[in-house]
Chains A and B, each alone.
Chain A
Amino acid sequence: GAVVSQHPSWVICKSGTSVKIECRSLDFQATTMFWYRQFPKQSLMLMATSNEGSKATYEQGVEKDKFLINHASLTLSTLTVTSAHPEDSSFYICSARDFVQGAPPQFFGPGTRLTVL
């Protein structure tokens, strides 16, 4: 089946620094990728929809200037958490769609655990 990778798998940074997370579809092209955030013992919250070659669509309440999304190619989307603060510490998960008939609707990456000190 299709594989989605994320890098890094975990990151620890100081408050005020920026962190970039990569999401790659390894064996299919993904015109649409999604970024979620999950706090401990909570559900996944959709942050934004990333569209190749165009601006991301952010969900209500998500600051687009803080969470910068770039989807420059059909296999790569990046999420940059700018000026990170401890409250940004969370599990960030991306997913991608493979439009092959019969494929699951979304393939999820393994996630990136961000800890901001």
Chain B
Amino acid sequence: GQQVMQIPQYQHVQEGEDFTTYCNSSTTLSNIQWYKQRPGGHPVFLIQLVKSGEVKKQKRLTFQFGEAKKNSSLHITATQTTDVGTYFCAGGDTGTASKLTFGTGTRLQVTL
């Protein structure tokens, strides 16, 4: 079945440093979504990318969808302590676009 892997599993940065998490799917996706989950909380939707090669920005966050629609990345510029949490990508199935396969997640820790 479809597998979605993320690297790194965990990253610890100092506030102000940049952070990137990479997402790779074993199959072509119809779309890629990104979620943030704070400790003890539930996933909160960040963004959806649909087009091949698409790049979207949200303030300090930059999201990319690969040309082959099998990989994606999330880059955070100048991290802040409020960025702490686990970032999941989730791939939308080409057959049933509603169904999501979540990536393995990257846990980000930010210290002063």
Interface residues of A (CB under 8 A from B): 32, 34, 36, 41-46, 49, 60, 93, 97, 104-111
Contacts A105-B98, A106-B100, A110-B42 given; indicate if A44 touches B48 (C-beta within 8 A): no
Query: Count the B residues whose beta carbon is within 8 Å of the partner chain — how many?
Result: 21
Cβ-neighbour of A44 out of B41, B102, B107 (below 8 A): B102
Interface residues of B (CB under 8 A from A): 1, 31, 33, 35, 41-45, 48, 88, 92, 98-105, 107
17 more contacts with CB within 8 A, not counting A34-B100, A46-B100, are: A43-B102, A43-B103, A43-B105, A44-B43, A44-B88, A46-B99, A46-B101, A49-B98, A60-B1, A93-B42, A105-B98, A106-B45, A106-B100, A108-B43, A108-B44, A108-B45, A110-B41
A46 partner residues in chain B, CB cutoff 8 A: 99-102
The total number of A-B Cβ pairs within 8 Å is: 50
- Interchain CB contact under 8 A, A49 and B105: no
A97 partner residues in chain B, CB cutoff 8 A: 98
A60 partner residues in chain B, CB cutoff 8 A: 1
**Which applies to chain B's interface (DSSP): helix, strand, loop or mixed?**
strand
A107 partner residues in chain B, CB cutoff 8 A: 45
A111 to B37, alpha carbons, bound, how many Å? 12
B89 (CB) vs chain A CBs: closest residue: A43
- Interchain CB contact under 8 A, B92 and A105: yes
A26 to B42, alpha carbons, bound, how many Å? 17
B44 partner residues in chain A, CB cutoff 8 A: 108
Of the A-B pairs whose beta carbons lie under 8 Å apart in the complex, a sample of 16, sorted by A's number, is: A32-B98, A42-B105, A46-B100, A46-B101, A49-B98, A49-B99, A93-B43, A104-B45, A106-B33, A106-B45, A106-B98, A106-B100, A108-B35, A108-B45, A109-B42, A111-B42
A28 to B51, alpha carbons, bound, how many Å? 28
- Interchain CB contact under 8 A, B48 and A104: yes
- Interchain CB contact under 8 A, A105 and B43: no
A93 partner residues in chain B, CB cutoff 8 A: 42-43
